Structure 1
Amino acid sequence: MIVLGLTGSIGMGKSTVAAMFEDEGVPVFDADEVVHQLQGRGGSLVPKIQAAFPGTTGPDGVDRIQLGAQVFGNPAALKRLEAVVHPAVAEERQAFLLRHRQEPLVVLDIPLLFEKGGAERVDKIAVVSAPAPVQRARVLARPGMTEEKFAQILALQTPDAEKRAGADFVISTAGSLDETRASVRRIIACLTGAGDG
């Protein structure tokens, strides 16, 4: 089994690309989605987060706005939160790999692959990328996003150029969806030996 790490900075189109891998029948582990489940209604992390950050949870699980207000721009609080979340996500990831161990290829969709040292845990890395003006327009179109918030997020992420330099594959989302899908198919063929790659 080949484990492909899929990553990309905010607004690059990583979720779209992950969905394309799924459409092609490749199992995808979505780290963000797992975090949402663990922090949602009845999620196993809700009591731990409530204990570490009182007042940040409710009947629907973690109130992401309240929690964000406590950890955003506060490195010590962020570290405390990561100490709760990361081991739980790692456990889910191991279970996913075990479930799909017969597959020729699986994708780990990990937004902070380079930032959090995940690159050592994958066989190959695909970086989703788009030109900076495209990225900026996409991110600033999101509800509640500001220039300041965007700048803070970018400051926490490895620059796109560095990610591309560390990648085995770069998937551009600057063109049409069909062009992006063709890139995804080429990577699958290359890694699984399927088709004429």
Structure 2
Amino acid sequence: MSDLYVLGLTGSIGMGKSTTAEMFRDAGIAVWDADAAVHELYTDHTETIEQIAELAPIAVTADGVNRDVLRDLLQADKTLFPQLEKIVHPAIRMHRQAFVDACKQHGLKLAVVDIPLLYETGAQEWLDGVLVVSVDSDTQRKRVMARKGMTEEVFKMISSKQLPDAEKRERADFIIETKTLDQTRADVHTLIKQLIGELPNA
């Protein structure tokens, strides 16, 4: 029987989720990244690429799925999004389960799964706990609008797919406010010690 604690990590766009995930990695914790998994599926997973080619032919090239083209198509045609989810979600679930199984086989005590749409997809049902990262709305907007290629319209589209920050915080088992890097790192270390009693890289 495995004693692995699977912690879900989530937060709205611009809240510092990716930075926080990296801090868990730096502390010696295994982290599964949903965005990285999607990138892998879009570049290396033949079945996923072929299905997307049927749905949106111009978004697929010899190198796989072009995410920028796909994003533009999703903005132009809202009916594409649920169709895309039916293709991507089952493949993502298999990818994630393989990660969790590997962590159990290696006898790890803690693993983090970084899932942007955690509550939106019901992932909290199978997790041992959920960590929500959060920051005030002004800081969030500054971070998001500083990203390359970001527009107000894209920000609104992404935000519309995400549960409001206040609701995420209300449902969370743990909350870290990502105000500064040093404070966030300290809070990550405190949480790891709380969950497994030690820092693997200490």
In which range does the TM-score fall when normalised by the shorter chain? over 0.9
- The CA distance in 1 between the partners of 2:77 and 2:187, in whole Å, is 38
User: Structure 1 residues 73, 183: CA separation in 2 closer, same or farther (over 3 Å shift)?
Assistant: farther
SS of equivalent to 2:22: helix
Q: Which amino acid aligns with 2:92?
A: V
Deviation (angstroms), 1:11: 0.5
Q: Alpha carbon RMSD of aligned pairs, Å? A: 1.3
* Residue 110 of structure 1: aligned partner: 115
* Residue 162 of structure 1: aligned partner: 167
Post-superposition CA distance 1:108-154 (Å, at most 9, x none): 00000011111112110000111100000000111111122212221
**Does residue 1:143 correspond to 2:145, yes or no?**
no
What is the aligned counterpart of 2:103 among 100, 103, 110? 100
- The CA distance in 2 between the partners of 1:62 and 1:46, in whole Å, is 6
Percent sequence identity is 47
Aligned residues: 193
Post-superposition CA distance 1:77-109 (Å, at most 9, x none): 111101110111100111101100021110000
TM-score, normalised to structure 2, is: 0.91
User: Structure 1 residues 117, 194: CA separation in 2 closer, same or farther (over 3 Å shift)?
Assistant: same
What is the aligned counterpart of 1:123 among 115, 128, 141? 128
Q: Deviation above 3 Å: which 4+ runs of structure 1?
A: none
Q: Which amino acid aligns with 2:192?
A: I
* Residue 137 of structure 2: aligned partner: 132
**Does residue 1:183 correspond to 2:192, yes or no?**
no
Q: Which amino acid aligns with 1:34?
A: A
- The CA distance in 2 between the partners of 1:91 and 1:16, in whole Å, is 25
Q: Comparing 4-13 with 141-150, which one deviates more in the overlay?
A: 141-150
**Does residue 1:15 correspond to 2:33, yes or no?**
no
- The CA distance in 2 between the partners of 1:115 and 1:75, in whole Å, is 17
Deviation (angstroms), 1:48: 1.5
Post-superposition CA distance 1:5-25 (Å, at most 9, x none): 000000011000000001111
**Does residue 1:90 correspond to 2:93, yes or no?**
yes
Deviation (angstroms), 1:69: 2.0
- The CA distance in 2 between the partners of 1:48 and 1:29, in whole Å, is 24
What is the aligned counterpart of 1:43 among 45, 48, 54? 45
What is the aligned counterpart of 1:72 among 67, 70, 75? 75
Deviation (angstroms), 1:172: 1.0
Post-superposition CA distance 1:153-188 (Å, at most 9, x none): 2122111111011111111111x2111001001110
Q: Which amino acid aligns with 1:157?
A: Q
**Does residue 1:29 correspond to 2:28, yes or no?**
no
Q: Which amino acid aligns with 2:7?
A: L
Segments of structure 2 that go 5 or more residues without pairing to the other structure are none
